[in-house]
Every structure is written in structure tokens, then in C-alpha cells.
Amino acid sequence: MFQNSEESRTSLSEYGEFGLIDHLTSGFPINRESTVKGIGDDAAVIDHKDLQTVVTTDLLVEGVHFDLSYMPLKHLGYKAVMVNLSDVYAMNATPEQITVSFAVSNRFPVEALEELYSGIALAAKIYNVDVVGGDTSSSTSGLIISITALGSAKKEDIVYRSGAKVNDLLVVTGDLGAAYMGLQVLEREKQVFKVNPQSQPDLEPYTYLVERQLKPEARRDIPGLFKALDLKPTSMIDISDGLSSETIHLCKNSKTGVNLYEEKIPLDPAVISVCEEFQLDSTTIALNGGEDYELLFTVAQSDFDKIKGNPNFTIIGHMTEENERMHLITRANQKIELIARGWNAMGKED
Amino acid sequence: MFQNSEESRTSLSEYGEFGLIDHLTSGFPINRESTVKGIGDDAAVIDHKDLQTVVTTDLLVEGVHFDLSYMPLKHLGYKAVMVNLSDVYAMNATPEQITVSFAVSNRFPVEALEELYSGIALAAKIYNVDVVGGDTSSSTSGLIISITALGSAKKEDIVYRSGAKVNDLLVVTGDLGAAYMGLQVLEREKQVFKVNPQSQPDLEPYTYLVERQLKPEARRDIPGLFKALDLKPTSMIDISDGLSSETIHLCKNSKTGVNLYEEKIPLDPAVISVCEEFQLDSTTIALNGGEDYELLFTVAQSDFDKIKGNPNFTIIGHMTEENERMHLITRANQKIELIARGWNAMGKED
């Protein structure tokens, strides 16, 4: 951790003009029936038959979205794919193909990019998506990764942000705030390391939090679970920026208000204890922390029986009339207006 | 030219976390029947019915692919779209949707991004594609643009790089080398401007070259022309890196050699005269200059009648057996091995 490996370095220039992407992508298999042509032509070719295609894209910038002093490149590659796939699952669709582009400065040896790609390849394998294209460029500073994911779903299965109705239940998968607190732990250790490079951080008590930050998993299980439960959410979004801003997105797109209950927000015990250690309010962290990559969705009240008692789901509120606005109901039963304070430096639309 | 406009500057931060992309993309209409959902959800949704989808992506990096001291932002936006659409046409497909992501440092005011987007919107309008998504981020330095294009075509119409056969004719659209020489002219004027900021460059004699560099057009007319001629190329690629490297791509993917005739390479008179002015060899420029965004393709000899005399097409060579290798036949009738020396700093696969 925090150490610069100098074992083997191959200069990017050794691969020449056209060799690098071939080198990096030669290991990517084609698995999906819909992938007619992957890497190696002007464009990939995808056969969709009677399904609808969803497409989503994310840009990850060094110094903004990740810090390589504690983010191993393999994890970064894996996470970059998760960020995209999470958006596809949030449409209740199945991801099928991704393209991966990056710009990189010459300070990165080829081995570093191989590490990055090994994480991308691992994610593609586990989540059964094909890497079908991309572009590489030098950069004047740092590493930038751009991933676009294509997914498919039957028209009638796609869930938008805009379908929530008044009285629908607001439901979230998993638990919230852990990825953000993992980042806080890593940032603290980085500062300790700067002062004393000999220190050996004991991250064991923070394993869950650090894993949520460094190796998040997209909720691929949820669309299948909906199918098994014969349940179609009325609206859905993934939690990349924080529960608060995502809830606001659902409300604005659906033209509803919301009552969100503080006491219902699912928190892992590790989040609660590390929030105490850092003297942070765990509700604030869950609302604004982001990077949890859980799914937030609404279901009709009549579907309550399908989700009650399911350990994957927590009902955290219900939708109200638009003119009742968006509120957090605190443990003290106070109504506080919901505001978006995500972690990103700038906006993104998906 | 080369002047920094300070008239009106809106800080990016004024738009807050989620406002900027909404602000920038609010003017993008949805035109394609296949676009079910554009910007505003986790992912765009595209309906493909019985067509195949092609997808291609490009990353443009300030200081590597463009220099804002002579590339107006509106032109940059337009060109970024052209670069992608050109790849779609090179599949003999019709572009339908694009996603546009960018990372930008705080030195850019909102007005600059609006300029960029106005060029993107203009290209989208003229070429009839929908902007269906994207992502924005701050960057630690400079501007990075990532565009992904989706297109469609009937399965039997798609043309790959791999279908050329021995004795097929090698054909190119338009003329070559102008974009690169336009860049040389602009670079020269930049150096003059650095020495004497009062100088007013006279670019009139170089209009065609500068336009090819700053406002290239993708060959959207060519797939329709093929259809009208009842002609299907056996292989095709667009010329982004230079005639030499693209010819090599066709040969390697098709497992053929090639004889390419120097005297046949189409050059605009302006390229010939400015090459003399710069004391550069025009054949070298056409072979390695890049950024022409013309199409290079092969057709069966039996289709010769369909292309002969067509002012859009120039037959520049023919494919040979793979073991005969790839050669340029000079005006002096010498055989020189073709080598790839594109203009990019690093490789790209599409």
C-alpha cells in the first residue's frame, strides 16, 4: 500500500502507434450472442432483434474520481465497469457490451495499464459483458477512463426514473454510506503515511468499508429478483451520488414529493461505529456519501407483500403529492427539506 | 483568432452539482424513431427492431488531438462528432445516436462549454443523429472529450475491414493530405502570432486546407451512393490516421497484400502548392497525414464499371496475395514497402 512498484516497466512508446490497444485488448473474449463484431473494426456490431438497447457512459478522472495512491489499478478498472453496469441495472436491463477508452500520461508503464485492464477483464467476465471497442490516447496529465455500456431489455421491462406515483413505497437495496466512509478511512491512512512512511495501517476493522470503496459490486441480482417476485418497480435509479440526490431525481422526474424516514435508512454497523470514530452524522453520510451503487426504486403499495421481509430490500419512505415537496422525517419527527449535496465536483445526467 | 474573449464568463460552480449537464443538453431534440429515451435517465434506450447496431467511440484530448489556440470550440465540438460518425459510415451504416462526455478544468467558463455544445448540436442536426447521453467531470488540466456513436444497418449491408480479396480494386473517396497541411499552416501562424501578436494572418490562400482541418465533414453521402450504384465494397475503413496505416489495416484484416500507386493518390492542387511552400513531399503527407475522414474501400474487379468515371472515387491500387506484401509503387516505378506512421501519439483500434 502506498508503495511505488518499480519491478518491471515497459515504456508505452515501445508498443508503437497501433500496438498498445491490440496488446491490451487481445485477451477479451466475445461471449454474448448479440455481439456480431467486437474490437478490430471501425465500430462494434451488435444484433438486437426484438429487444431494446440501453446505453450509458461514465467518465472517471484521476484526482477527481480516484486517487491512485490508495486505489490499485486493477480495482480501478473493476470499479469503472461497475459504475456503468450499475446504470444498466437501474434500467432493469441486462448489460451486454462495454467500450473502454482511456487517456494516460507517459508516467504510466505498460504494466500499469495491464493491471487496469485486468480489472476490466475480471469485471467483464464476472458480469458476462463483452468489451467491444475503445480508444486510447496520451494525456498531458493523469489518467482518464471513459466507459460506455450497452444493455438490453424487453420494452415492457424497462424502468425509468419517471414512473413513481403518489403513495408508492420508496425502497432501497443493501445498505448506505459504507463506500464514503471507506474513502474517509483511506484518506486518513494516506495522511498518516505521508507523515510516517514506515507506518503499517491496520485496515482490518474497516474491511467492509474499504471494500465498498475500492471494489464495489453492481446489483446484478436485483433485476432477476424482480422477475422472480413478479414485481416491476414504478421508477428506479442507482445510488452513485447519494440517497438524497437520487431520491430528488426520482421525485422530479416523476413529479411527486416524498417522505423519507431517517430511522429507516439501512446502515451497516461498521458505518455507525466509524461515523462515531470520525464524529460524523451517519444519516448525513448515507444521504450524501454516494458511490454505494445500490438501487433505489418505488413500488405500488399493492406490491408490499412481494417485498416485505426480503433482506435485500428496505422500505425507507413513500411518495407524496408534488406540492407536498420532498422531506426527510427525522428520528425526532421533524420534517427537513431534502437537498442534494453529492460528492461529485460537477454534474452528471446519469 | 488567437484572442482570449473575456466578455462574459460564468463560473462552472454557479450551476451547482446537477445543473450543468441539464443546462448544456436542454437544447438537444430527439429525432430518430429508434430513440425511445434520450438524456435524463440512467441510460438512453434505443429500439433496433431487425437492424444491427454498430457502436464506436473516440477520445479527444487537449494538447494531443487539438490546440485551442487556433481550434474554435464550436469547430471542436463539430469535429469531435465527425470523427465518430466517420467510423459509422466506414461500416456502411447510418449513425443514429451519440453520447458526449467531457472533463474540463475550471479555467473554462460556461460560455466556452456552450460553444463546444453548439458545435455538437450543429453536427447532430446536420447529420440527423440524436444526442442521448453523456457525463461531465472536472479535470485537473485541460479538456477531454469522449464521444460514442451508435448506428444501424441491415446485416447484409455492413462492410468490415476483413473482406478484401486478391485482385480487388483499392478505392478512395475525395482527396488526401489537406487536413494535415491545414494543421501545418495553423501551427505556422501560431508561431508568428507568438512573436508578433499584432500580426493579422492572411489565411485566404489556405481556406480549403484550414477548413479540412478545422471543420471536416464525414462522408455520409457514400453509403447512399453505394446503394444507388448497387455496389457493396468488400472491405472499408475511414482515413483518420493516414492512407498508409489504413491500407495496412485493410490488408492485415483481409490477409492480402497491396500495390498502391503513388501517381494515383488524389491530391487537391492546394495541397501540392502548400507542400512546395513547406518543402514537404506531398505523397508522404497523403500517406501519413491523417484526419482526412475520407473512406478507403475495396471492390471486386467485376464492379469496375460501377465506379469508373465517378468523381467521388479514385482507384489507387489493387489487392495482391498476402505473401506479396504491401507496397507503394512510386512514380519512378520503384516498389517501396508500406509502413504506418500515423499522426497520433498512441494507438487506437477503430
pLDDT of A254-292, one tens digit each? 999 999 999 999 999 999 999 999 999 999 999 999 999
Three-class secondary structure of residue B117 per DSSP: helix
Say how many domains are in chain A: 2
ipTM over 0.90: no
The string of pLDDT tens digits covering residues A132-181 is: 888 888 888 789 999 999 999 988 999 999 999 999 999 999 999 999 99
Single out the residue in B132, B157, B182 at which a domain terminates: B157
A192 and A114 housed in the same domain: no
> For every residue of A210-236, which 3-state class applies, written as one string?
HHHHHCCCCCCHHHHHHHHCCCCCCEE
Asked if the model's pLDDT at residue A347 lies above 80, the reply is no
Cα dist. B299→B219, B235, B306 in Å?
Answer: 18, 7, 10
User: Is residue A292 situated within a structural domain?
Assistant: yes
| For B157, nearest residue in chain A (alpha carbons) | A45
CB A135 to CB B59 under 8 A? yes
A132 and A175 housed in the same domain: no
Q: What is the pLDDT along chain B (350 residues), one digit of tens a residue?
A: 343 444 456 766 666 545 666 676 666 677 777 777 776 677 777 878 778 899 999 999 999 899 998 899 999 999 999 999 999 999 999 999 999 888 988 788 888 888 998 999 899 999 999 888 888 888 888 899 999 999 999 889 999 999 999 999 999 999 999 999 999 999 998 888 888 888 777 888 899 999 999 999 999 999 999 999 999 999 999 999 899 999 999 999 999 999 999 999 999 999 999 999 999 999 999 999 999 999 999 999 999 999 999 999 999 999 999 999 999 999 999 999 998 764 433 333 33
Instruction: Tell me whether strands B130-133 and B94-104 are parallel, antiparallel or unpaired.
Output: parallel
CB A20 to CB B347 under 8 A? yes
Tell me the C-alpha distance between A229 and B332, whole Å. 76
Mean pLDDT of A104-118: 86
CB B17 to CB A60 under 8 A? no
Phi, then psi, of B257 in degrees rounded to 5: -100, -175
The pLDDT score that the predictor gives to residue B346 is 36
CATH number of A43's domain: 3.30.1330.10
CB A54 to CB B47 under 8 A? no
User: Is residue A80 situated within a structural domain?
Assistant: yes
CB A64 to CB B20 under 8 A? no
B130 and B71 housed in the same domain: yes
B185 and B153 housed in the same domain: no
Shortest CA gap B67–chain A (Å): 12
Mean pLDDT of A334-345: 71
Q: Which of B55, B82, B339 to mutate to test the interface with A (most CBs of A within 10 A)?
A: B55
Mean pLDDT of A200-222: 92
Asked if the model's pLDDT at residue A56 lies above 60, the reply is yes
Burial of A6 (0-12, 13-18, 19+ CB in 10 A): exposed
CB B238 to CB A42 under 8 A? yes
Shortest CA gap A205–chain B (Å): 33
Domain coverage including residue B242:
169-337
User: Is residue A344 situated within a structural domain?
Assistant: no
B256 and B303 housed in the same domain: yes
Single-letter amino acid code for the residue at B62:
E
A183 and A147 housed in the same domain: no
B194 and B318 housed in the same domain: yes
Burial of A166 (0-12, 13-18, 19+ CB in 10 A): middle
B200 and B144 housed in the same domain: no
The pLDDT score that the predictor gives to residue A213 is 96
Closest by Cβ to B43, choosing from A17, A47, A54? A54
The pLDDT score that the predictor gives to residue A307 is 96
User: Is residue B306 situated within a structural domain?
Assistant: yes
Asked if the model's pLDDT at residue A343 lies above 50, the reply is no
Contact between residue B88 and residue B149 where contact means Cβ atoms under 8 Å apart = yes
B134 and B235 housed in the same domain: no
B84 and B197 housed in the same domain: no
A327 and A183 housed in the same domain: yes
User: Is residue B347 situated within a structural domain?
Assistant: no
In A, which residues are within 8 Å of B238 by CB distance?
42
User: Is residue B260 situated within a structural domain?
Assistant: yes
User: Is residue A57 situated within a structural domain?
Assistant: yes
The string of pLDDT tens digits covering residues B37-96 is: 776 677 777 878 778 899 999 999 999 899 998 899 999 999 999 999 999 999 999 999
The pLDDT score that the predictor gives to residue A280 is 95
Of B128, B121, B135, B132, which Cα lies nearest the Cα of B47?
A: B132
Closest by Cβ to A22, choosing from B90, B133, B349? B349
The pLDDT score that the predictor gives to residue B92 is 94
User: Is residue A7 situated within a structural domain?
Assistant: no
CATH number of A307's domain: 3.90.650.10
Single out the residue in B94, B122, B157 at which a domain terminates: B157
Question: Any idea which residue has 460514442 for its cell?
Answer: B148
Single out the residue in B102, B126, B157 at which a domain terminates: B157
Mean per-residue pLDDT over chain A, rounded: 87
A145 and A177 housed in the same domain: no
CB B59 to CB A101 under 8 A? yes
Confidence class of residue A3 from pLDDT cuts 50, 70 and 90? very low
